[in-house]
Structure 1
Amino acid sequence: MISKYDIIVIGAGHAGCEAAVAAANLGSKVLLITMDMNSIAQMSCNPAVGGIAKGQIVREIDALGGYMGIVTDDTSIQFRMLNRSKGPAMWSPRAQSDRSRYIQRWREVLDDCANLDIWQDTVTEFMIQHNTIEGVKTRLNCEFRAKCVILTAGTFLNGLMHFGEIQVAGGRISEPASYGLTEQLKSIGFVSDRMKTGTPVRINGNSIDFSKLIEQPGEDDFHRFSFLKREKRLLKQRSCFLAHTNETTHEIIRRHIGQSPIYNGQIKSIGPRYCPSIETKITTFADKISHQLFVEPEGENTQEYYLNGFSSSLPIEVQLEALRTIEGLENVRIYRAGYAIEYDYFDPVQLKNTLETKPIKNLFFAGQ
């Protein structure tokens, strides 16, 4: 293993994988550092790609030589074109992927990349001289030098998960947070703050009465994400299903709203507008008697389902009580509870339009 590279990428999520492969394919010697090689390109929340506005971005990545569209097509278990009621320019591709196959396929892409090395470790410190990045130090006391470093840490910088009053440090369920980088950057003048997002329960499909849900099959036509491949879909295609909350569901959530970290002051950070919790939806749209929920399979052969639209940080027992008021989920069993997560982010006004940071030369930020 060498210790000097052209580019080091920290974090192997969507942004990190694309950055590493793009740089390597252009001839740079690249090191991709990840905390866990078994979760490379992990789909942290919903195992889906695209949707309104986001689907167009995936196709732009494809046009620029990226791999997200190709990997999604290879691992898709459902493909749908949304927004068909509008003109073709507004159509939005969306695919449901097999979570584990997506990781496996991305790993194959990375392993086949000639100029790319992967190292499993945690970066704890940037090496900086004269306001220029020179490399990184890791928890295993390794030093790697590079002309350029790209930070794609996602939700892992000082990540803290909330399950009601219970707080668990981590960047994702069962995965440790990353410490030290935010503190170092703040000490040299960077401004950081806290962001919040969340994820819903994962449901055991054997406990769902699908006869009470509305089936949403995929489309088996010529549409794909990538324009570079036109192969037949490789995996068994599966349906998603539509469910609805009701006034009883809402009443349970309102009754326990004081136990939600979002509303009792436990969480003080801001959240993205595109991903509201079920607590936020019921509070913000108090006149609505029902909200749509999408029951989406996590893989080709699994019974694990993602409940899209029910992101929550309420206590586990409250989540279950509310879920069991929903038609089709009266006897639901879950694999794991939903939770909120807080993490550090850096104000983007500190970046140039190339995503290079203004205070430190050749240090770039990308991703979540």
Structure 2
Amino acid sequence: MVGGGHAGCEAATAAARMGADTLLITMDLGKVAAMSCNPAVGGVAKGQIVREIDALGGQMGVITDKATVQFRMLNRSKGAAMWSPRAQCDKYLFSDLWRRTLDGVARLSMWQDDVTEVIVEQGRVEGVKTMMGVEFRARAVVLTNGTFLNGLMHVGTSQTQGGRAGDMASVGLSASLEKIGFAVERMKTGTPVRIDGRTINFDVMEAQYGDRIPEKFSYLSQSESVREQMCCYLVYTSKDVHDTLRTGFDRSPLFTGVIRGIGPRYCPSIEDKLRTFADKDEHQLFLEPEGRTTNEYYLNGFSSSLPLEVQVEALKKIRGFENVQIYRPGYAIEYDYFPPTQLQHTLETKLVENLYFAGQINGTTGYEEAAAQGLMAGVNAALKLRGDAPLVLGRDQAYIGVLIDDLVTKGVDEPYRMFTSRAEYRILLRQDNADFRLTEIGYRIGLADEDRYKQFVEKKGRVEGLKRFLKNESIAPKHIEAMMNEIGQPNIDQKRRLVTVLARNGVTLGLLSESVAALGGYIEEIGATREDIEAVEIEVKYAGYIEREREQAAKLMRLENIKIKANFDYESVASLSIESRQKLTKIRPATIGQASRIPGVSPSDVNILLLLLGR
């Protein structure tokens, strides 16, 4: 495994725990899984990914729970498909916990160095060479280099080589891969200033507290929710702030053409915001603590590569920052990435056997997206080496499946970020049911251990038992009349099954168990947790929608089962459009389903392929 970021740590841990002798090579063993940007895990769609990593047996959720300083379940006012867990973390503790986790994994070794070359013989990877001149032979290699490949940082007109502030760039590996035949392109991302909390006037800011009853990411019962939560704050820019920022536009590397890489549309720099939303006089920013043992604060929404003096002058015009001092300025960073259409769904490269790419090297952004790819690359490398079938998650199985299918099928034209809108089956892919979707898979491949599987089986028994109880037991109108009046709902007109009553708006298992003694007794008897009760409520209330999505997924899965030969000659099919022939030849889809999702391949092109395949 090359790279010790979020992708590399998950990849190395997964492969080693599945029985592969594994070596993790990283440039600084003191900064594994560093939170280079926002000190938080989760968020919209990202929180679902972390739950899926945990359900499969990965480590991100477990470590996040131990490092959390504030927890919030986002989008509670919307439907359950949109609920997304997010944790503000102590970034130093998060990295330290990851290092301790890596040190405790059997079959996993570590080496501090910079990989400069991939060894390839007869189309197969055979190892790597490092800057120190060491050669490591390996049957499989996973590259998770993040933003370090030819990294170049920008602050105004100043440029510095590096993968992030304080760390050197990785030079040589991109050229090695390009020489083999891989396409290499550039992307850009950025990060805000880090602020000394002792110089902030919090009293004039809008406090943003965590949930009154915080939850957690990991499904493991021994993983605990955060007890003492830290506060975040809302602050706002103003017209004066914007005017000050604009004075640096003539020295902005974004606007002078110095930066060639494509930046993230959904996490733009503050100067990008001022250009795109020129009519707005204020923008909302989030001030977030970086940990319990530091005065450092992160200003979410204020990413910038403007000159240092412009950043500081503009900051001082934000209410509460009049006397602000900073630890370092915001900066933009350009780096090499490899268009992910060069990968198979296992994240193995099409060009070189047993070579895998994961994380920002594939054009993604975000810790969660990187960790998910790292986990899947590590899993598939281990599976292939032991001669087992690969693990490819479907779009109806996991957000991880959506993420990887989007990357290898559609490619990227900007840093890829996961959103719930990218998934066709959001009601199936909820954050609450990731263990029901994936833990048996994780256990089958040898990643989820016996203890995790036992806890899952017990939870499944409690949830299924409670659902059976609700379907079998009935209630008369007189027994719930008071409850229905209390929530402002019309009472039932005759005896009804409890499951039918629970499906009504405003009815919860808590309220129902107060009116139905037998239900309250059963919940206590089986020891149902808050997590169990929430899972049952969601399944009951959204039953119709869930069944409809399952039926839609089953219909589309028929196309996923129609395989296309790897050497299929699309250019010889004159009835296909020229664009379709070009895209199909480039992507080489494995199935008709994948072919149908390629931009530029029309429904009529898909029908032609079906005819040619005898369907």
User: What's the TM-score once normalised by structure 1's chain length?
Assistant: 0.96
2:71 aligned residue (79, 88, 93)? 79
Query: How far 1:222 moved relative to its partner?
Result: 4.9
**Closer/same/farther in 2, CA of residues 222 and 298 from structure 1, 3 Å limit:** closer
1:178 matched to 2:170? The reply is: yes
5 Å-filtered alignment, 1:93-112, equals 93-112=85-104
For 2:128 and 2:191, the matched residues in 1 are separated by: 31
The letter for the 2-side match of 1:81 is M
1:92 aligned residue (84, 109, 112)? 84
Query: How far 1:255 moved relative to its partner?
Result: 2.6
- Partner in structure 1 of residue 125 of structure 2: 133
For 1:243 and 1:222, the matched residues in 2 are separated by: 24
Query: How far 1:102 moved relative to its partner?
Result: 0.5
2:46 aligned residue (54, 67, 89)? 54
For 1:293 and 1:140, the matched residues in 2 are separated by: 43
For 2:82 and 2:69, the matched residues in 1 are separated by: 23
For 2:312 and 2:237, the matched residues in 1 are separated by: 13
Taking only aligned residues, the RMSD between alpha carbons, in angstroms, comes to 1.1
1:323 matched to 2:315? The reply is: yes
Counting strand residues as a fraction of each chain, which structure ranks higher? Answer: 1
- Partner in structure 2 of residue 254 of structure 1: 246
1:360 aligned residue (345, 352, 355)? 352
Query: How far 1:34 moved relative to its partner?
Result: 0.7
Alpha-carbon contact 2:71-2:226 (below 8 Å) kept: no
1:16 aligned residue (2, 5, 8)? 8
1:20-68 deviation digits (Å, cap 9, x = unpaired) = 0111111111000010010011011011101111111111111111100
The letter for the 2-side match of 1:60 is E
**Closer/same/farther in 2, CA of residues 232 and 360 from structure 1, 3 Å limit:** closer
- Partner in structure 2 of residue 5 of structure 1: none
1:235-277 deviation digits (Å, cap 9, x = unpaired) = 7420000000011111112232111111111101101222200
Alpha-carbon contact 1:208-1:331 (below 8 Å) kept: yes
The letter for the 1-side match of 2:262 is I
Alpha-carbon contact 1:236-1:300 (below 8 Å) kept: no
1:299 aligned residue (281, 284, 291)? 291
2:161 aligned residue (169, 174, 180)? 169
Structure 2: segments with no counterpart, 5+ residues: 361-615
- Partner in structure 1 of residue 182 of structure 2: 190
SS at 1:228's partner residue? coil
- Partner in structure 1 of residue 508 of structure 2: none
For 1:237 and 1:230, the matched residues in 2 are separated by: 19
1:75-109 deviation digits (Å, cap 9, x = unpaired) = 11111111112112211111111111111111111
- Partner in structure 1 of residue 281 of structure 2: 289
For 1:324 and 1:114, the matched residues in 2 are separated by: 51
Q: Which of the pair has the greater relative contact order for Cα pairs under 8 Å at 6+ separation?
A: 1
The letter for the 1-side match of 2:200 is I
For 2:183 and 2:224, the matched residues in 1 are separated by: 48
Query: How far 1:301 moved relative to its partner?
Result: 2.6
SS at 1:141's partner residue? coil
Query: How far 1:71 moved relative to its partner?
Result: 0.2
- Partner in structure 2 of residue 350 of structure 1: 342
Structure 1: segments with no counterpart, 5+ residues: 1-8
- Partner in structure 1 of residue 405 of structure 2: none
The letter for the 2-side match of 1:306 is Y
For 2:56 and 2:224, the matched residues in 1 are separated by: 23
Alpha-carbon contact 2:70-2:226 (below 8 Å) kept: no
For 1:88 and 1:72, the matched residues in 2 are separated by: 22
Comparing 165-174 and 216-225, the one that deviates more: 216-225
- Partner in structure 1 of residue 194 of structure 2: 202
Counting helix residues as a fraction of each chain, which structure ranks higher? Answer: 2
2:328 aligned residue (329, 336, 361)? 336
Alpha-carbon contact 1:198-1:312 (below 8 Å) kept: yes
- Partner in structure 2 of residue 280 of structure 1: 272
Segments of 4+ moved more than 3 angstroms: 229-236
User: What's the TM-score once normalised by structure 2's chain length?
Assistant: 0.58
The letter for the 1-side match of 2:99 is R
For 2:311 and 2:204, the matched residues in 1 are separated by: 20
For 1:48 and 1:156, the matched residues in 2 are separated by: 21
For 1:161 and 1:235, the matched residues in 2 are separated by: 38
Alpha-carbon contact 1:162-1:341 (below 8 Å) kept: yes
